[in-house]
């Protein structure tokens, strides 16, 4: 007689949860890549490194670090809210590329010498 190992059965709920987790992971990686790419425009290793310059003695570095810190928060605040709408069905799922274009814009600060 054939026996089914119940521990190997994947339910519809499990499949849906895995799909949502994969989707969130895709968006999260793209958003983080977008943040890091912006910081790299000014030769920082990434956003995490850049924001450590917020209180730097160099006024330009300090201004850039502070601006990137504020922008990072705005990006994740927007992303979290909008992706929650996607996951709940309140809005259609945009492509990752479309979603990145929706994120708050960033303008590098200019510090007068």
C-alpha dist (Å) from residue 35 to 47, 53, 56, 67: 6, 16, 20, 12
Is 68 or 21 the better-scoring residue by pLDDT?
68
Does 8 fall in a domain?
no
Per the structure, the count of domains in the chain is 1
**pLDDT classification of 5: cutoffs 50, 70, 90:** low
Whole-model pTM: value is: 0.83
Range of the domain at 80: 13-102
Tell me the average pLDDT of the chain. Answer: 90
d(CA 80, CA 30): 13
What would the pLDDT profile of 14-62 be if each residue is shown by its tens digit? 776 677 777 888 999 999 999 999 999 999 999 999 999 999 999 999 9
Does 64 fall in a domain?
yes
pLDDT at 4: 62
């Amino acid at each position: 007689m054939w026996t089914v190992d119940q521990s190997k059965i994947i339910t519809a709920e499990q499949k849906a949860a895995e799909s949502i987790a994969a989707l969130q992971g895709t968006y999260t990686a793209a958003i983080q890549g977008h943040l890091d790419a912006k910081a790299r425009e000014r030769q920082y290793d990434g956003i995490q490194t850049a924001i450590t310059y917020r209180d730097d003695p160099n006024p330009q570095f300090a201004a850039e670090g502070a601006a990137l810190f504020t922008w990072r928060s705005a990006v994740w605040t927007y992303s979290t809210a909008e992706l929650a709408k996607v996951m709940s069905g309140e809005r259609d799922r945009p492509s990752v590329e479309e979603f990145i274009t929706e994120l708050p814009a960033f303008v590098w600060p200019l510090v007068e010498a």
